[in-house]
Amino acid sequence: MQKPAGILSALWTPTTVDGEIDDPLLKIQVEFVIRGGVAGILALGSTGEFVHFDLATRERLLRRVVELANGHPVMANISDVSPRNVRHLARVATDIGCAGVAILPPWYFPLSAADQQAFFLDAASATPLPICLYNFPERTGNRISLETIAEVAKRANVTSVKQSGAEWAYHQDLVALGRELNFAVLTGSDTRLDEALALGCTGCISGLSNVCPELLVSVCRTVPTGDTASTARSMSLLKRVGAACGGVHFPMDVAAGMRARGLNPGAPKQIVSEATHSGMDGVTQALIPVLRDAGLIA
């Protein structure tokens, strides 16, 4: 996964009511996204709710996903506010045969550009694996600037950048820098995948791949061939999926979507109100006719 391309599934992490990894459900989910045609898996990403797991659990999860993926590329999100934990997970990812690592900037406290650069370079020193710098300022409170990305990419094995969040125009700037410094850009915007590919992104790290990987994979396959009719059909369905998911907040929308697909997301990892449970039920019901129209459920 030197320069990742295609759909990487931001894998959902099923858990039991005790907050432990639900291994049978995890196996089903890994097999589901691989069967759906994804190019790889991102384990412990935002959709995987990694912040709910302690270090030992994250390590066990990474090992198990690599095992279940059976040679399919796995990128490990090694993000943490603790540089020590980041280095530990980087070494684990290296030892177990991950194809790469993804790293968010630390969250909660503000960081200067110089501090971000130092943080990423410290992480890079712990692994020879390809690095994906992961920009999601709405979650971390710390945006990764073009200048920071350029400085880190010149000194470390940065092969990709993932752009998530509301700043759509940033994709274009990242793609231009990627062409200059030889890294790929992956979008986190599932429902604008066709636009991202047109801008020069190579693919998507996708939360909705836990629900409808076939639609996302179809777009990645048809855009380069110029099959505009097939692309338009898949994108229309993806946008309908995204609109239906708007009835509840992320990442509970993904869990609701999995239920519509007939998959069990496991127990919530946080306290969920009755209002959110009701919202999830509404999303599940709204998605069923969309998935039927897509031919993904009977």
How confident is the model over 158-180, as pLDDT tens digits? Answer: 999 999 999 999 999 999 999 99
Question: What tens digit of pLDDT does each residue of 176-219 get?
Answer: 999 999 999 999 999 999 999 999 999 999 999 999 999 999 99
Q: Which residues are tagged catalytic?
A: 134, 162
Question: CA 137, 11, 143 angle in degrees (round to 5)?
Answer: 10
Give, to the nearest 10 degrees, the angle between helix 146-155 and helix 170-181.
20
Alpha-carbon distances, residue 53 vs 18, 48, 57 (angstroms): 12, 10, 6
pLDDT at 285 > cutoff 80: yes
How many CB atoms within 10 Å of residue 108?
Answer: 9
User: In angstroms, how far is CA 283 from the centroid of its own chain?
Assistant: 21
**What are the pLDDT digits (tens) for 221-260?**
999 999 999 999 999 999 999 999 999 999 999 999 999 9
Beta strands in the chain (DSSP E): 6-10, 40-43, 74-77, 100-103, 131-135, 158-163, 184-187, 203-206
Cα(17)–Cα(207) distance, integer angstroms: 22
Rounded-to-integer distance, Cα 113 and Cα 187, Å: 22
The pLDDT of residue 2 is 81
Residue 295 has pLDDT above 90, yes or no: yes
Q: How far, in Å, CA of 160 to CA of 131, rounded?
A: 7
Nearest-angstrom CA–CA distance, 295 and 298: 7
Q: Write out the two tokens for 82.
A: 């603790």
- Give the mean pLDDT of the chain: 97
Domains of the chain: residue spans and CATH: 6-225 (3.20.20.70)
